[in-house]
């Protein structure tokens, strides 16, 4: 095999590895232990996610400046009462308490708004929205980086079934 061919193969192999690294970093939700998340409410009181055991929960990591986050939260709000009535939606940001309160008060969503006590990247979240679905046993049953089409009936049905 010629040196040129070896270098070409090596180049493509390295490019593939770099591509996989960035794909995993920006398109695969990090594995997190939700029971160890340090979050606070708008009054900066600690919140224990374990208190949600027995409930189906959508955890959405968002930022007020993120268009895809806002689009997804808008859709969740739109279908909350009719199609997600039995599901708690926890919206978590790493922005300041002031921004959390302003966003929450401006949008008036029927969600529980929380603040992560550290930046997203410290728990592995580098792209938002990142969503985790939690079943009644407090286990993550689904995760996704990026917008989820909650208005698609088959997607919604599938995701709700996962949380049972």
pTM: 0.82
Residues 6+ apart with CB under 8 A from 33: none
Model pLDDT for residues 88-109, shown as the tens digit of each residue: 999 999 999 999 999 999 999 9
Rounded Cα–Cα distance for residues 80 and 56 (Å): 13
Omega within 30 of 0 (cis) for the link into 48: no
Q: Do residues 42 and 27 lie in contact, with contact meaning Cβ atoms separated by under 8 Å? A: no
- Same domain for 37 and 60, yes or no, is yes
Q: Do residues 70 and 92 lie in contact, with contact meaning Cβ atoms separated by under 8 Å? A: no
- Same domain for 110 and 74, yes or no, is yes
pLDDT at 147 over 60: yes
- Same domain for 39 and 101, yes or no, is yes
3-class secondary-structure state, position 84: coil
The residue behind tokens 């968002």 is 62
Position 71 confidence tier, pLDDT thresholds 50, 70, 90? very high
- Same domain for 18 and 44, yes or no, is no
| Rg from Cα positions in the chain | 19
Say which residue, 155 or 27, is predicted with more confidence.
155
Average pLDDT score, the chain: 88
Domain span at residue 6?
1-30
- Same domain for 16 and 65, yes or no, is no
Q: Give me the percent of the chain exceeding a pLDDT of 70.
A: 86
Find, among 132, 109, 134, the residue nearest to 61 by Cα.
132
pLDDT at 50 over 70: yes
């Amino acid at each position: 095999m010629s040196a040129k061919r070896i270098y070409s193969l090596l180049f493509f192999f390295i490019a593939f590895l770099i591509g996989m690294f960035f794909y995993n970093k920006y398109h695969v939700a990090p594995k997190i232990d939700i029971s160890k998340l340090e979050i606070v409410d708008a009054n900066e009181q600690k919140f224990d996610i374990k208190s949600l055991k027995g409930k189906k929960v959508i955890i959405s990591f968002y930022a007020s400046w993120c268009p895809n986050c806002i689009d997804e939260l808008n859709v969740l709000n739109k279908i909350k009462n009719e199609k997600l009535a039995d599901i708690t939606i926890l919206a978590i940001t790493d922005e300041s308490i002031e921004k959390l309160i302003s966003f929450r008060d401006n949008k008036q969503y029927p969600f529980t708004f929380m603040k992560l006590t550290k930046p997203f990247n410290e728990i592995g979240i580098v792209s938002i929205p990142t969503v985790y679905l939690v079943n009644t046993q407090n286990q993550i049953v689904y995760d996704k980086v990026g917008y989820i089409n909650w208005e698609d009936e088959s997607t919604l049905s599938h995701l709700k079934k996962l949380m049972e």
